[in-house]
Amino acid sequence: MTVLNERVTSDHHALIQDMATKSLLKRSIQYMKAGYPVHFTGPSGSGKTSIALALAKKLKRPVMLMHGNHELDNKDLIGSFNGYTSSKVVDRYVKSVYKKDETITESWKDGRLLEAVKHGYTLVYDEFSRSQPTTNNIFLSILEEGVLPLYGLKSTEPFIKVHPKFSMIFTSNPQEYAGVYQTQDALLDRLITLHVGYKDKDQETLIISEKLGLDKKEAEIISELVHDLREEFGDRKGAPSLRTSLQIARIAKLDDIPIDYSNGDFQQLCADLLGHAVVQGLALTVEDANDLIRKKMKY
C-alpha cells in the first residue's frame, strides 16, 4: 500500500508550473471539484503522473497511489482472507474442572481500493489501462452508482457506499503502447480525458532550468537537442521525452560535464541517453542514430 502525503512536495517530485501545466491543473481542479474523475493520457514521460499527483495534493485528502498491471485483481482491490488467527483460553480455576475455549477466525486484509473508498482518499490510478478491462469493471459501479461491490467478502452487505470525499484520478498511455489494454467505452465515458503532450521547447527549458537549478542557456541546449530529435519522430511513438531531458541535465550537473555541444563528454552523454530511443523509434542502425544526434548537435 502506498499512501502519499508529503512526498509529492519534495524537490524531486516538484511540478514546475509552465503555462500549459498551470492551465491543465486549473481546469482539472474545476472538473474534480464538480465531481468528475479526470484521466490524463499521453506519451511516456510527458508528465501525466506528475500532474496527477500534484492535482491529488491540491484536493487536500490523503493520496493513495495504485499502479495498473495485468495481474491486478479483485483481491488487490477489495481485499482477501489471508490466513487464520486463533485464540485459546484454558480455565483451571477449579482444579477438578478443565475448561478449554478455542476460537478460530479468518483474518481479512482490506484491498487498496476498499481502503480508499472507505476513508475518502484521493486514489491516483496510474497507468490503469495496463490492468485487464475485466478488473477495471469495478470502477463502473463506483463512478456510476457510488458503491463498491464486495465480491468475495463474506459480509452480509453486498456493497459499501463510497465515502463522499473519495475521488479518482486516472493516467494512461495511448492504446498503441505495448502492454496496454483497450479500455471499455463505458469507463472512458465516465472520465474527463485530457491529453498531456510533449512540452514545447520553451516550457521544457523552463522545467529543466528550474528543477535542476541550471542556467537558462544550458537548459536550452538540452531542450533544443531533444526537441529537434523528437520532431524526426513525427507520429511514431517512443520519442525522447522530458524525462530524458531531465536525466541528461541531472547527470551533466552531478558529474560536472559542461553542457556544450562541442564537449566530448557531453556528446557521449547525449549519445548514450538518446541513442536507444532513436535506434528503436526511427529504425536506424546505432551508427546512423549517432550520426543523427551528432548532426543535431551541430558538430
Ligand X SMILES: Nc1ncnc2c1ncn2[C@@H]1O[C@H](COP(=O)(O)OP(=O)(O)OP(=O)(O)O)[C@@H](O)[C@H]1O
Which positions lie near ligand X, rule CB under 6 A?
15-16, 21, 44-50, 171, 173, 207, 211, 242-243, 246
- For ligand X, give the closer residue by CB, 114 or 242: 242
Query: Between residues 117 and 212, which has the closer beta carbon with respect to ligand X?
Result: 212
Query: Measured from the CB of residue 189, what is the shortest distance to ligand X in angstroms?
Result: 23
* CB closer to ligand X, 44 vs 132: 44
**Cα(188)–Cα(106) distance, rounded to whole angstroms?**
37
Q: How far is the CB of 234 from ligand X (least distance, A)?
A: 20
Using DSSP's 3-state secondary structure scheme, residue 3 falls into strand
Closest CB 269 distance from ligand X, rounded Å: 17
H or E segment and range at residue 110: strand 99-110
- Alpha-carbon Rg for the chain in angstroms: 25
* Shortest Å, Cβ 88 to ligand X: 50
Alpha carbon distance 66, 63 (integer Å)? 10
Alpha helices in 36-86 (DSSP H): 48-58, 74-77
Closest CA to 52 of 183, 132, 172: 172
Max CA pair span of the chain: 98
CB of 174 to ligand X, least distance (A): 10
CA 282 vs. chain centroid, Å, equals: 27
Q: Grid coordinates standing for 218? A: 544550458
Distance in Å, CB of 207 to ligand X, minimum: 5
Query: How far apart are CB 206 and ligand X at their closest, in Å?
Result: 9
Tell me the residue number closest to ligand X, measured at CB: 47
Closest CA to 111 of 16, 1, 233, 240: 1
d(CA 7, CA 15): 12
CB nearer to ligand X: give 207 or 270: 207
Pick from 218, 240, 233, 243: nearest CA to 284: 233
Residue number, 51 or 78, with CB nearest to ligand X: 51
Give the nearer residue to ligand X in terms of CB position, either 19 or 286. 19
The smaller minimum CB distance to ligand X, of residues 37 and 47, is found at 47
